[in-house]
Amino acid sequence: MSGGLVRPRMGAAELSFHQDRQAVQKDFPGPRTIAFVNPKGGAAKTTGVLAAGYTFGTVRGGGVVAWDNNETRGTLGIRGQRGDHRNTTRELLEDLGRFSDVYQARIGDLGAFVRAQGDAHFDVLASDERADVTGIIHASDFGDVHALLQRFYRVVLVDTGNNMRAENWLAAAEAADLLVVTSTVREDTGYSGLWMLDALQDAGHADLKRRTITVLSDPSPKVDRGLAEDLVSVYEQRTRSVHRVPYDAALVSGSVVPYGKLSEATRRSWLSACAAMAQAL
């Protein structure tokens, strides 16, 4: 109406939306690794990795990989979009030699092992999907794959399993620049995360609070408010910040995450959680 002479000021909500996007788009001085951890199954680790992959991927415009570092068959490959191949971390480990010449190896060669997530603009490296294998992933295997992913991606999101004693679990906790404790608003998952933080502290992880963020997901449309408040307050004492993400019916089925069908509230919550992650890096 004013021909551009009068610019309405941004409202508070719009401003914080832009600030969060800018934080997620931050330039890191090197590749950054975020590990999603909680030794309890069903704590929304895998869901969280995919939601963060979608958020970092779309807002940054790529450069993001989500890696399933489960010691047994993880579900990241099942819940991400399937590719044309069935290759996983196992096949990548068997073929690592093809990436050893840093001048010849190309990011496109990784396409034989990772699965592009389409409009979500990130890649998934699945964990071993063969039912007959028992081979464990050693700490050195973790280190090899991690070093390779860091050559080709700016943000590496690591999904983890439920066994804190597994070599590759410990290696991920050690290598991560940031830990994201995921939990649902339930006593059992909430306490498991706290127990894990105690164990990491006892194992000599210095600076744990500064290196950790919490994401609390609602596992049902209605949650116990008292419990949610208790969990927020105790995790606020133990980690940098606590971010709540809502229940989303699109996530319940446990099948391929329909990124395009996530609710507005889910996207907004993950944007602010990922902004806090980026700021902590």
Ligand X SMILES: Nc1ncnc2c1ncn2[C@@H]1O[C@H](COP(=O)(O)OP(=O)(O)O)[C@@H](O)[C@H]1O
In whole angstroms, how close is the CB of 153 to ligand X at the nearest point?
21
Tell whether residue 269 is a contact of Mg ion (CB under 5 A): no
Q: Which is nearer to ligand X, 111 or 246 (CB)?
A: 246
Choose the stretch contacting ligand X; rule: CB under 6 A; options: 38-46, 58-66, 141-149, 165-173.
Answer: 38-46
Bridge partners of 181, per DSSP, are 37, 214
Q: What are 12's two structure tokens?
A: 């508070």
148 binds, among Mg ion, ligand X, none (CB under 5 to 8 A by kind): none
User: Which tokens is 185 given?
Assistant: 């608003």
Closer Cβ to ligand X, 110 or 180, answer by number: 180
Binding partner of residue 248 among ligand X, Mg ion, none, CB cut-off 5 to 8 Å per kind: ligand X
Q: Check binding of 217 to ligand X (CB under 6 A).
A: yes
Position 42 contacts ligand X (CB under 6 A): yes
Number of residues that bind Mg ion (CB under 5 A): 2
Tally of CB atoms within 10 A around 202? 8
Question: Given the structure tokens 């208790």, which residue do they identify?
Answer: 230
When asked if residue 56 is in the footprint of ligand X (CB under 6 A), the reply is no
SS3 sequence of 96-149: HHHHCCCCCCCHHHHHHCCEECHHHCCEEECCCCCCCCCCCCCHHHHHHHHHHH
**Number of residues near ligand X (by CB under 6 A):** 17
- SS3 of residue 264 by DSSP: helix
Our CB check for ligand X shows the closer of 38 and 127 to be 38
For the record, the structure tokens of 242 come out as 């606590």
R_g of the chain, CA atoms, integer Å: 19
Residue 75 lies near ligand X (rule: CB under 6 A): yes
Figure out which of the listed residues 33, 38, 46, 88 binds Mg ion, where binding follows CB under 5 A.
46
107 to 136, contacts with ligand X by CB under 6 A? none
Of 44-52, 82-90, 113-121, 246-254, the segment contacting Mg ion by CB under 5 A is 44-52
Crossing angle (nearest 10°) for helices 45-60 and 264-280: 80
In the chain, which ranges are continuous DSSP H helix?
Answer: 12-24, 45-60, 76-79, 89-94, 139-152, 167-175, 187-202, 225-238, 264-280
The Cα–Cα gap between 212 and 33 comes to 12
In this chain, which of 248, 272, 275, 278 binds ligand X, going by CB under 6 A? 248
Binding ligand X (rule: CB under 6 A), the pick from 235, 247, 259, 270 is 247
Q: Interface residues with Mg ion (CB under 5 A)?
A: 45-46
Q: Interface residues with ligand X (CB under 6 A)?
A: 38, 41-47, 75, 217-218, 245, 247-248, 251-252, 254
